[in-house]
A and B are shown apart, each in its own frame.
Chain A
Amino acid sequence: MNKKNLTDTAILTVAGLSKSFGGVKAVNDLSFSVKKNHIHAIIGPNGAGKSTLFNLITGIIPPDEGEVRFFTTDITSLRSDQIAKHGVSRTFQNIRLFPDMTVFETVLIGTYLLTGAKLAPALLRTKAFRENERVAKQRVEEILKFVGLWDVRDEYAAQLSYGNQRRVEIARALATQPQLLLLDEPTAGMNPKETKELMDLFTAVNNEGITILIIAHDMNLVNTLSDHITVINFGEKLVEGTADVIQKHPAVIEAYMGKVKVDA
């Protein structure tokens, strides 16, 4: 676990980020940074603004104020497809799959950044086009084997078990070849066995050199996996540090642990 090459380079920097919905300050002057190769956890009670933070980072909603940087690039005002192109991919709190697609087709969508969508090569079926398609499909095969879904590749993604649907979502995100992977409560609703298996998968992904920013309520998961933890409450940063520091922090115990929601 600690064999990995932890660095001090910030892959993601959030500076003074704010977002209000009507009167609700969902994210309020939030600043933190994620170091390359880390597994960085975001924890906080329901409604703390964690998912909103992810939506701000990935450009799904624009912030009222503040800045998001990927390495040194300002990505604050980019669209989510442009942010994906920079190397940030994500999964959603409520799994979002393509209802009409098989597992293979779903993950193939993730290769869009590789294959592109040029029309002329597609219509002429040029050599470059066919080579691209071959590479994309090969990548999907590798990823499906990596996440353990190769055997169910031809099944409709939406008909799989909850745990496997989450895997499909992760596989699709991996197919974009991200440097930073954002996971929004990936183990919510999973049984202990599924949770354990997913945790192993996250470690494996991280060992491939992919930085992970993960929202979770499961303190066992957070303590086991994360190199760094940021606790947020009412959209603000409460405290951050390693698992040891966080667990002992009085403000955390009061504000968060007091009303902790443990996912079964």
Chain B
Amino acid sequence: MEHIRKLGYRRLGLLIGVLALLMIPLGITNPYFMYVINLILIYILLVLGLDLLVGYTGQVSIGHGAFFGIGAYIAAIFSTKLGLSFWLTLPIAILATAIIGFIIGFIGLKLIEEYLVMATLAFGTIIWLVFLNWTDVTGGPMGIALIPPPPEMNFGLFTLSFTQYADYYPLLLFFVIVAIIITKLLINSGFGRSCTAIRDDELAAQSMGIPVFRTKVIMFTISASYCGAAGTLYAHFIHVVSPETFNFTMSVTILTMVMIGGQGSIIGAVLGASLLTIFSEALRAAPELRMLIYGLLIVIMMMFFPRGIMGIISFYRKLIEKRALLKKLKGGKATVDVKKEGLGYE
């Protein structure tokens, strides 16, 4: 028993958790639900990527929908015109979005320093116009259809033939888990810590020897390539790409997911992506209303819960711990001043 404990309940728990997640398709017969779940996984990738920039480094982008689009279009173009498989379009898209991300980050963070938001907004708009108007390559407003699924994968016991939504699920889940692991490894390193320091106090960070500009640009690059990867998966999953998917609304949607879940939190990213995907699927009939609600949500979250759902959870956890402690000390009912504790940063 002691031995198992040493091995770590945590690892065991994680293993069971992943196995349970893999079982999900077995319990879901409605393909639409499976579709939504897959969509959530793709959004999780996007949110993890943007959160590296927004949550961990404190730099806001409202152009990440464009990186998503670039990844998707690269997959679409290379697979339909050159016949490349998913396993080739993916690294190409990651590399391409990293390079473009580097350039945009470099310009946005250096040339027009305080205006990263503006620069990313402009970038997002330009890329959207390119998708829309470069008809020879992007198919214009019609987009590109008939994007092939990933090649069949044979695992001996079972085969993923990618003929139904449930087949995509393990593949997407795999990439989400990889992305979470990479995120964790990044965050718990000198690089990740320097990003957090920059987020909290740029001047102090730089005075401790952290090259602020370079660090931000690198994080912007990484963040863009997460979205590129998500785009490739999206294209091969949906089989169609068209400009309206990758417009300003997409960038705002991803940002809202980051804010709702809680900046700088992996669980928050998962929560934010899940809740908002379900929510926006439910509001499918009224897309204008959706933008209005997103806008309001962002403002409300910024004003009252700057750390999103995860912030609220950790606040109440602390409160409960404190109550328990006070109860132990006083042996009676204790009160804690909620106002004084505060839900936000300050």
Answer yes or no: A152 CB below 8 A from chain B CBs. no
A108 and B196 CA atoms in complex are apart in Å by 12
Residue numbers in A under 8 Å from B196 (CB-CB): 98, 100-101
Task: Select the stretch in A88-96, A210-218, A233-241, A253-261 that faces chain B.
Answer: A88-96
Asked, given contacts A112-B193, A122-B186, whether A80 binds B345 with beta carbons under 8 Å apart, the answer is no
Between B189, B196, B212, the greatest number of chain A beta carbons within 10 A of the residue's beta carbon is seen for B189
Instruction: Report the bound CA distance from A118 to B215 in whole Å.
Output: 11
| Interface residue A42 (Cβ < 8 Å from any Cβ of B) | no
Count of inter-chain pairs, beta carbons less than 8 A: 101
Given contacts A98-B204, A101-B196, A119-B191, contact A112 B209 (CB under 8 A): yes
Q: How would you classify the secondary structure of chain B's contact residues: helix, strand, loop or mixed? A: helix
Q: Contact between B189 and A122 (Cβ–Cβ < 8 Å)?
A: yes
Would A96 and B209 count as touching, CB distance under 8 A?
A: no
Within 8 A of A (CB), among B172-201: 182, 185-186, 189-194, 196-197, 199-201
Assuming the contacts A60-B207, A79-B211, A98-B196, asked whether A112 and B190 have C-beta atoms less than 8 A apart, the reply is yes
Answer whether residue B208 sits at the interface, using C-beta atoms and an 8 A cutoff.
yes
Given the complex of chains A and B, what is the CA–CA distance between A80 and B182 in angstroms? 30
In chain A, positions 76-117 with a C-beta closer than 8 Å to chain B are 79-82, 84-85, 89-90, 92, 96-101, 105, 108-113, 115-117
Contact across chains for A81 and B185 when beta carbons are under 8 A apart: no
Distance from B305 Cβ to chain A, minimum over Cβ atoms (Å)? 15
> How many A residues face the partner with a CB closer than 8 A?
40
Given A97-B204, A122-B189, A81 contacting B211 (CB threshold 8 A) = yes
* B210 close to A (CB within 8 Å): yes
Taking A82-B211, A112-B209, A122-B186 as given, write out 5 further A-B residue pairs in contact, using a Cβ cutoff of 8 Å, ordered by the A residue number.
A60-B207, A101-B200, A109-B197, A117-B215, A119-B218
Contact at B204–A89, with CB atoms within 8 Å? no
Known: A117-B215, A123-B182. A92 touches B204 (CB 8 A): yes
Query: Across the interface, which residues of A come within 8 angstroms of B210, CB to CB?
Result: 81, 109, 112, 117
Q: Which residues of B contact A129 (CB under 8 A)?
A: 189
Contacts of A105 in B (CB 8 A): 193
- A84 contacts B201, C-beta separation under 8 Å: no
